[in-house]
Amino acid sequence: MNKTEIEKFQQDLLGWYNIHKKPLPWRKNTEAYSVWISEIMSQQTQVETVMPYYLRFMEKYPKIEDLAAADDDELLKLWEGLGYYSRARNLKIAAQQVMTEFQGQFPDALKDIQSLQGIGPYTAAAIASISFGLPEPAIDGNLMRVTSRLFEIDADISKAASRKIFDEKLIELISEEHPGDFNQALMDIGSMVCTPKIAKCEICPLAAYCQARPKGTQLKYPVKSKKIKQQHIYYNAYALKNTQGEYYLQRRPTTGLLANMWTFPMQEISKEDFDNETLLLPTDLPDSVSRMIKVGEITHVFSHLKWFVQIIECIPEENFSVQEEKLDENQLWVKLTDLSKVALPTPQVKMFKFFKD
């Protein structure tokens, strides 16, 4: 495209955006802190799901210094249901970085933004363009899909090296006056018009520029190699209730999947044991379990894993009592009425449904 064509492209795109842009709550405030929170929450999560979480989060932590000082359990509880809990932990770490390394002011240079914990090239470019007016393409799945169809780019988008190809193309096109709107306009076209399974060319403001449209090859793009096969993991989860009506929970390790969240004690088992409903008593349960009863099963899908969990109610002996002094910081007895105070991952929320009246 020559300069005149690029200017027309920008006008058509931004004109459409001014009329049709999504009314998202974080678009009312272009400050870096709010943009950052919204972008992190929106990773791997539907926008409609994010909105109430975003509003609650900003009410609880309206400023970056509030987030930097957040209680870990309260932060995870607020995040409960969004999944990918490392995002919440990274937010706090990054907020502390801003307070200590940048004197409490969110950095305005791309390199500095990307130095913060949990911020990759896309999020850094989104913040830089929306909050600071820097002409940096925010290349996510939507932008790669739209751009690959516009220019018949056959680079495999699952490969990190392909990002440079899209970056170079969009650097030529991005509006220097309105880079944030440019990026968000392409995001909206990708989510509303040029979607993965349907290309609504008849309402697309960029149809005249699309090289795939005349050939009818829109849905051949973007090129993406096949996903790695999902791994299946099988567990027993053990529900032990004391005479006070409290359930025994354990905190998961500080790193890895669902880090620091609270769950029933869980034991990985073989598929054969799961299929045979084998009830194995783990060694890390409190003493005095007299018998076990299977009460149900749940499944839960992560991006790369699928959990199959059979829930086992552990019946204690009649003289079983709780000795609070024996609990450490990674053990907890909790009543069903107090679950709102505990950071529970979605699989555990599913498991507790078997024990609610």
**What is the SS3 assignment for 10?**
helix
The amino acid that residue 185 corresponds to is A
For the cut 50, the answer to whether the pLDDT of residue 325 exceeds it is: no
Domains 3-220 and 231-355 share a fold: no
For the cut 90, the answer to whether the pLDDT of residue 327 exceeds it is: no
What share of the chain has pLDDT > 90, as a percent? 80
Whether 206 contacts 213, CB under 8 Å: no
Average pLDDT for residues 279-304, to the nearest whole number? 82
Task: Say what the pLDDT of residue 323 is.
Answer: 54
- How do residues 150-173 score in pLDDT, each as one tens digit? 999 999 999 989 999 999 999 999
The structural architecture, per CATH, of the domain 231-355 is Alpha-Beta Complex (3.90)
Going by C-alpha positions, the residue among 84, 28, 23 that lies closest to residue 58 is 28
For the cut 80, the answer to whether the pLDDT of residue 230 exceeds it is: yes
**Residue positions annotated with a catalytic role:** 39
The reply to whether the predicted model has a pTM over 0.75 is yes
Residue with tokens 């299946």: 232
Domain boundaries, the chain: 3-220, 231-355
pLDDT averaged over the chain?
A: 93
For the cut 50, the answer to whether the pLDDT of residue 16 exceeds it is: yes
Q: How many residues does the chain have?
A: 357
For the cut 50, the answer to whether the pLDDT of residue 253 exceeds it is: yes
Strand order in the sheet with 246-251: 262-263, 246-251, 331-335
CATH 3.50.50.60 fits 3-220, yes or no: no
Instruction: For residue 345, count CB atoms less than 10 angstroms from its CB and return exposed for 0-12, middle for 13-18, buried for 19 or more.
Output: buried
At CA 275, angle to CA 274 and CA 276, rounded to 5? Answer: 90
For the cut 80, the answer to whether the pLDDT of residue 28 exceeds it is: yes
Is the bond preceding 286 in cis, omega lying within 30 degrees of 0?
no
Q: Is 115 left (phi over 0), alpha (psi -120 to 50) or beta?
A: alpha
Task: Say what the pLDDT of residue 319 is.
Answer: 62
CA 46 to chain centre: 9
Task: Say what the pLDDT of residue 321 is.
Answer: 59
Average pLDDT for residues 7-18, to the nearest whole number? 98
- What the block records as the tokens of 84 is 């990918």
Q: Going along the chain, which residue ranges are E strands?
A: 231-240, 246-251, 262-263, 266-269, 289-301, 305-316, 331-335
